Amino acid sequence: MLYSRQIVNQNSDKKPHFETMPNNAFEHSQKAIKAYEDTKQMPSGMSTGDLQPEGVAILYGMGALTAQRLQKHQLAHQYATKVMENQSTPSSQELFATTLVNIGKVDEAIVAINKAVEAQPNNKDLLQLRDEISKKAIKP
């Protein structure tokens, strides 16, 4: 599972192009997450089953991505944390790291992206993201 990333430039006056797009993906992911969480509250005898950890990670991953694109950074981080609780992979570490950067936790983001790079040391995208995050740590 690959995640696109978006690190927000806090000093930019430009609005991301996707702010003008409909919020349908975000709304749909919110409905799906709510349905899943509501189902988790039911007694197990009333449920038809549960998602496997990979399915839970995909569900929250889509929520994190859509929230991040709408610059709802705290919500994106909350969902990325749920992704990590269910499936810690280099891709989920990448998503988690970008949400950490976007809420101002650059040092924690470096730890997260380094775990992803350890697992995939030749992944150019992860190496580039690590460089981007490291630059944010150096800036005052």
Average pLDDT, the chain: 83
Burial (CB count within 10 angstroms: exposed 0-12, middle 13-18, buried 19+), residue 76: buried
Q: Are 95 and 83 in contact (CB under 8 A)?
A: yes
Distance from chain centroid for Cα 133: 15
Percent of the chain with pLDDT over 70: 78
Question: For the chain, which domains are there?
Answer: 25-41+50-138 (1.25.40.10)
Q: pLDDT digit string (tens) for 56-108?
A: 999 999 999 999 999 999 999 999 999 999 999 999 999 999 999 999 999 99
Distance from chain centroid for Cα 90: 12
Q: Which residue has the higher pLDDT, 89 or 32?
A: 89
Percent of the chain with pLDDT over 90: 55
Least Cα distance to 63 among 40, 87, 41, 81 occurs for 81
Confidence class of residue 133 from pLDDT cuts 50, 70 and 90? very high
Confidence class of residue 44 from pLDDT cuts 50, 70 and 90? low
pLDDT at 98: 95
In the chain, the amino acid numbered 49 is G
Least Cα distance to 113 among 94, 92, 138 occurs for 94
pLDDT at 136: 86
pLDDT at 72: 94
